[in-house]
Amino acid sequence: MPLLAHGVGSRGDLPLPLWQFVWAAVFAIVISFVALGALWTTPRLAEAAKGRSLRWTRRPLRILEPLTRVVSLGLFVVVMTAGLWGSDIVAENLAPVSIYVMLWVVLQIAVPIVGNVWVVLSPFDTLAAALERFRPSKLAGEGPGWSHWLAPIAAAGFLFLELIHPQGDAPRTLGWAMLIYTAVVMAGVWRWGRAWLAHGELFAVHLGLLGAMAPIVRDDRGWLRVRAPLSGLAAMRITPAATATLLVVLGGVSFDGLGESELWRDIVGRHSGWDNAMWRLAGIITVTALLSALYLASIRWMASITKRDPRVLANLFAPSLVPIVFGYTVAHYLQLAIDESQTFVFRLSDPYGRGWDVLGTADGSINFDVVSTDMIAWFQALGVVVGHIAGVVVAHDRAIATVDERDALRSQYVMLFVMVIYSVVGLWLLLNA
């Protein structure tokens, strides 16, 4: 399977025609909205976020965290050096599968379920923690607002490599990209401190947003705490840069589905190389712009009803996009994650493509029957639907927490319409690609 073939091979296994599934999805979203309006009359997510602390987890975490950080940093170095100096054949190098599958896909799917493990796995945070010991007095801020825009810019750059660049999966390309990005991030840490990472580093920002959905979180005392799913989004303070990051990622994963469709192949025809890349660049910009315009239109409507600043509302309701991004990720990448994560284990035994077999797994082959295609198909389709229902829940809870009761439901009508459009488009891309 080509690494960048992100289409999902099992979507045709759904035992329902597209129109039936779309109507069922729209009905489910609308009914959810009506039910929330009738039954969910006071904010609930903030209270549910308190959860219950698991005090016994503090000691195991204190033991495991340093080991995990060392292993993760070591793997980061191996992946980067493999990209720079290992085999230049994609199928023999650890870097492509590590970056595009394990970092971008597997973590995006895992974090909303198990919690934001990136806070421990991040090599940048580990390096920043070490830097703190040498320069503590100047490492205490979040940096100016403009510095946070590195996150959406990096997201756009990552998607350019993943979906557009003709040699985006080439080990040398990825190795140099890792080196340059690391240098930029560490320059930000040197200037503004470790706390800046949560606002300006792409993976810290994006995975932090997804992790707010998780039923597990680590609190300030070092304990794990269990809470209601989605509840962490109630307390999220999302900046304009973080909102832009969400919209860029949403546009990217949506275009990934479009790029695998017959419609796109009819448009692009026989274009290849950089000619094809320019078509794909125009496509991803168009898709991202349209999805962003729909979201901002719903915010404008809400602002006209509530008499609130639309710029404030855009960030206030951005958490409703987080479950949608997660749902789209599951829909488009679940099978890729299941299949190609096995490839990661194989490549780990010979990261540089030198003929090694350190772990005894170098000759392994993908087992495509780990999960049945029918089950994957249902998970993918339901990912879109459930993601949008969850988005409606988050938006409704935010509305009744921040908007006058009379206007809370009425102000969400256009947001509901946008959710329906997102859902229909997402299902079409999934089932027709």
CA atoms within 13 A on the CB side of 1: 22
Is residue 395 a contact partner of residue 313, using CB atoms and an 8 Å limit? no
Domain count for the chain, please give it.
1
The predicted model scores a pTM of 0.90
Residue 16 belongs to a domain: yes
Question: What band does 109 get if pLDDT is binned at 50, 70 and 90?
Answer: very high
Residue 5 located in a structural domain: no
Instruction: For the chain, give the mean pLDDT.
Output: 86
pLDDT at 18: 62
Q: Look at residue 428 and tell me if it is in a domain.
A: yes
Q: What is the pLDDT of residues 126-149, one digit of tens each?
A: 999 998 887 665 555 788 889 999
The pLDDT, as a whole number, for residue 43 is 86
Domain that holds residue 333: 11-432
* DSSP annotation of 226: E
Give domain status of residue 372, yes or no. Answer: yes
pLDDT at 192 over 70: yes
Task: Judge whether 47 lies within some domain.
Answer: yes
| pLDDT at position 203 | 97
The answer on pLDDT for 395 being more than 70 is yes
**Is 3 domain-assigned?**
no
> Range with the lowest mean pLDDT among 19-23, 49-53, 263-267?
19-23
pLDDT score for 6: 45
How far is 164 from 166, CA to CA, in rounded Å?
Answer: 6
Buried/exposed 288-322: b ≥16 CB within 10 Å, e otherwise: beebbebbbebbebbbebbebeeeebbbbbbbbbb
Angle in degrees, CA 224, 227, 232, rounded to 5: 95
Check residue 16 and give its pLDDT: 56
Answer whether residue 261 is part of any domain: yes
Whether 381 is covered by a domain: the verdict is yes
- Band (206; pLDDT cuts 50, 70, 90): very high
Cβ within 8 Å of residue 21, ≥6 positions away:
14, 381, 427, 431
pLDDT at 2 over 50: no
pLDDT digits (tens, 9 = 90+) for 347-367: 999 999 998 988 888 888 888
Sign of the CA dihedral with 179 first, then 184, 190, and 192 last: negative
- In the prediction, which pLDDT does 101 show? 94
